[in-house]
Chain A
Amino acid sequence: MTCAEAFQAYAFRALGFGERLLPRADIGVCEQIVLIGSGMIWNVYFAALALSLGFFCAVGLALAKNSRTWLIRKPAEWFIFVFRGSPLFIQFFMAYEAFVLLPRLGFEFTFLGIAIEAETRWLARAWLGALIVLWLNTSAYSAEIFYGALRAVPKGDLEAADAYGLTGWKKFRRVVFPTTMRLAWPAYTNEAIFLFHSTALVFFSSFPAFQQMGDALYYANYFADRTFNPFIPYPIVAVYFVLFTLLIIALFGAINKRLNRHLPQEARPRLRYRPTLIR
């Protein structure tokens, strides 16, 4: 199979398009690169959706944790503690078992509509179930980052806002929020990379891959099992991850530049990638 043929057959295999059968014998490097790349679509999907949904949740949680009202602060603190204090791996397992149990629980209430039954069934699939776990997880981690930044907003900025007569929403929108983002952005970039790397865990999370439509590690594992040679597929995964990491750094770097555009050149904080191992 030539590289062009491999691309045609397997480029979107992870989404269910193209050749149905995975390569079995005479597996070339091209097939491996294309198919693992096709699996990366899922990793990108998980990371992109979890991050964009998690961002808003995290801002809300950070504000809640910063609240003076006990009733608002405590739940946010607990949420952050539970998701940051336990391994993501265990969270995946627990969520999966919970989601598998759901339809059975629902089955006892036979009056539930078909729509709801269908929804609970989707929860046990990776595209929704794993996404929810990743979303809640990144919300907690990012909330802690935003909370730290919120506490670090310079006193002078707040006093200046007061002096201009800004209060409530306007003060938050014009002064507090932009400064929080500016302060949190380098750490949040790391969190984004970290979350992207954690999407690799979805493969181990017992969420099954339907019709062999899996993520990058699923196909890497498939090839490692088929060829008994892990030295080609796993480095391919690593290279893909490094490439996408560079892409995230470029994207977040551009946002960082925009957030700090009012500062003199040398006072702008630089993004530094500090890799973290496991969540």
Chain B
Amino acid sequence: MFEFCTDPATLDTLRWFSCYLTNGAHFLFYQSFLVVFALLAVTAPAALAFGFAAAAASRSQILPLSWLGKTYTAMVRGVPDIVFFLFFVLVLDQGIEFLRHSVVCPDWTDPIRQGANFLVCPDARTPQSSAPQWVHETYGFALAVFTYAIVFGAFCGNVLFGAMRAVPRAQLETGEAYGMSRRQVFWRILVPQMWIYALPGLSNIWMILIKATPLLFLLGIEDIVYWARELGGSRTSAYQYPHPDWRFWYFFGLLVFYLAFTRVSEIVLARLTARLSHGQATAAGEDLRKAAA
């Protein structure tokens, strides 16, 4: 990156590090932090949407819909954690290929499960084996995001369902007394008021979500853990920047990154709680009112 980096072996410590930390591989490492943020930015709204849909469905008066919502939240929450993650991505992957297989080549006669192998016709391979590398990577990432959204959506659904029940009944009755329909009461009274009750639970899920991001590594995505292992491993003098095993320091860096991230989240969420408490019929809202008066 800098001009003096042409021959690192001759540099003093400070310059050596400034070259080492700005070489090509390290920029890939820094980019993988963006992958973490991208995952959070996509997953958090998706999980919230899934959860909202599940909670709204659970409250529905149409019985099958309410069963669907309740089964979803109960099922995903009941299965032990990490097994689900590994298992679900595989099921999703094979399921998509199987569905495409039955659509694309219906007259394929060979069995799909040949003993040990899962073989679909070449046209149904997802993504196509001829596809460029970035398609494969994006597909893997999309599968991971979907898995995260499903799992965390169930958790959000549970929290939002509880929050909807926590809104004082009198508020809803007031809406009904004004002649609002069920739909109007839901959107105009229940939904705006439920967030303050949902926030403690949602902030918990957010923290868990942050701490779940290193699991991307297990799903085969080149995330920060992957790069920390890659870059930290010892390099012989055959490399441009030889160094001993520095993986400990790379993981230490990740630890600090996560600690800072959770700490900042905590502070932001505390502010958000204060904001959302404005004008609410809760103890925190009452405190705010008294402080202002």
Contact = CB atoms under 8 A, between A and B. Distances in A.
Interface of A: 81-82, 85-91, 93-94, 97-98, 100-101, 197-198, 200-201, 204, 217, 226-230, 234, 237-238, 241-242, 245, 275-279
A93 B229 CA distance: 9
Nearest to A228: B116
Contact of B225 (A86, A88, A93, A198): A93
For A88, A277, A278, the residue with the greatest tally of chain B CB atoms inside 10 Å of its CB is A277
A131 to B, nearest CB: 18
B266 to A, nearest CB: 8
Contacts of B232: 97
Contact of A87 (B87, B212, B228): B212
Interface of B: 77-83, 86-87, 90, 113, 115-118, 151-152, 155, 208, 211-215, 217-218, 225, 228-229, 232, 245, 247-248, 251-252, 254-255, 258-259, 262-263
26 contacts: A82-B255, A82-B259, A85-B259, A85-B262, A86-B258, A87-B258, A89-B214, A89-B215, A91-B255, A93-B247, A93-B251, A94-B248, A94-B255, A98-B248, A101-B245, A200-B81, A204-B218, A227-B116, A229-B116, A234-B83, A238-B80, A275-B81, A277-B151, A277-B152, A278-B81, A278-B211
A227 B118 CA distance: 11
Contact of A97 (B90, B212, B248): B248
A226 B247 CA distance: 31
Contacts of B214: 87, 89-90
Nearest to A85: B262
Contacts of B255: 82, 86, 90-91, 94
A100 B115 CA distance: 41
A86 B258 CA distance: 5
B83 A241 contact: yes
A85 B78 contact: no
Nearest to A200: B82
Nearest to A193: B80
Contacts, number: 104
A200 B83 contact: yes
A94 B214 CA distance: 13
A43 B152 CA distance: 25
A277 B155 contact: yes
A245 B80 contact: yes
A31 to B, nearest CB: 16
A76 B6 CA distance: 48
A277 B212 contact: yes
A204 B85 CA distance: 13
A278 B90 CA distance: 19
A91 B118 CA distance: 36
A220 B102 CA distance: 30
B258 A197 contact: no
B208 A237 contact: no
Contact of B208 (A94, A245, A278): A278
B251 A90 contact: yes
B166 to A, nearest CB: 16
A241 B247 CA distance: 32
Contacts of A89: 214-215, 217, 225
B79 A238 contact: yes
Contacts of A277: 81, 151-152, 155, 208, 212
For B83, B213, B255, the residue with the greatest tally of chain A CB atoms inside 10 Å of its CB is B83
For B77, B117, B151, B214, the residue with the greatest tally of chain A CB atoms inside 10 Å of its CB is B214
Contacts of B211: 86-88, 278-279
B123 to A, nearest CB: 22
